[in-house]
Amino acid sequence: MSRVSLRLGLIILCLLGGLPGAVSHAGELPFGLRGAAVQGGLLRGQVPVGTKVWLGDQPVRVGENGSFLIGLSRRAQRSLTLRLLYPDGEVRQETFSITQRDYDIQRIDGLPAGQVSPSDTDLARIRRDSAAIKKARQVKTDTPLFEGDFIWPVTGIITGVYGSQRILNGEARSPHLGADIAADEGTPIRAPADGRVVLADDEMFFTGKTLLIDHGHGLVSVYAHMSALDVVEGAWVAKGDVVGRIGQTGRATGPHLHWGVHLNGVGLDPALLAGDMP
């Protein structure tokens, strides 16, 4: 067997999990990853340019500068394996632990019946809204557009937390993939990080006045139920810029902001990105 064939065989075995790898100790992250290794968390990494990265058997998008992001879903496994294939052919892998979470059950009553069990006409509108949001989230920016940590877009009372099981008017619905922050109507909402506005819609069925910001690498944040939009699609925003105002448009029982963050379609916990509210 030639040296080239042997190296290729070793690479394939490692990528398929056939070679042993290091196991990170509790609380440690491999390969210099930074972030919260917890369900709903976001991890940031940096590798030499040209390196390929896999999380389990799924390829991870690596930017032209070697940066990458990993999103941990609401139900991420207890342990995950990160595999790296370096430009010189070296393959390394490490397994690390993910902190598991217990989620609340949140009951919300008093919503209009049509917003819990929509009519056929409203369902068609909801499908159009969902398609627009999905398209906006599919932007392909290969490098992060932000640096440093996120900030809270508004300060107030947290009335809804990430991951909670929603019971609406007594009916079970999908888990809540964001944070709800109650504040006075008209309170300014600020961009939590640099990015570009990829959707600004005046009237969506569930989310009312809705804004999406692309932060690069498939990381997109959403702002819902606003009373006003202060930016337009295509606009560049810097961390701290005012992008809208607190409202109660769409399916809402009072003035608040729904703030969500998704990485390539995986819903993350925005509170883990921003830390404690000031």
pLDDT in tens, 60-110: 999 988 999 999 999 999 999 999 999 999 999 999 999 999 988 878 776
Type of residue at 236: W
Instruction: Between 214 and 140, name the one with better pLDDT.
Output: 214
Type of residue at 178: G
Q: Which of 126, 133, 156, 112 is nearest to 257 (CA)?
A: 156
Instruction: Between 145 and 11, name the one with better pLDDT.
Output: 145
Quote the distance between the C-alpha of residue 123 and its chain's center.
25
Is residue 12 over pLDDT 70? no
pLDDT band at 22 (very low <50, low <70, confident <90, very high): low
Would you state the pLDDT for residue 19? 45
Is residue 3 over pLDDT 50? no
Is residue 53 over pLDDT 80? yes
Share of the chain above pLDDT 90, in %: 67
Mean predicted confidence (pLDDT) in 15-34: 61
Would you state the pLDDT for residue 70? 97
**What is the residue extent of each domain of the chain?**
3-97, 107-274
CATH class of 107-274: mainly beta
Is residue 233 over pLDDT 50? yes
Q: Which CATH architecture has domain 3-97?
A: Sandwich (2.60)
- How much is the mean pLDDT over the chain? 88
Gap between the terminal Cα atoms of the chain: 62
Instruction: Centre a 10 Å sphere on the Cβ of residue 31 and count the other Cβ atoms it contains.
Output: 17
Would you state the pLDDT for residue 27? 54
- At 129, give phi and psi (nearest 5°): -60, -45
pLDDT in tens, 163-215: 888 787 777 677 889 999 999 999 999 999 999 999 999 999 999 999 999 99
Could you tell me the pTM of the whole model? 0.85
Share of the chain above pLDDT 70, in %: 89
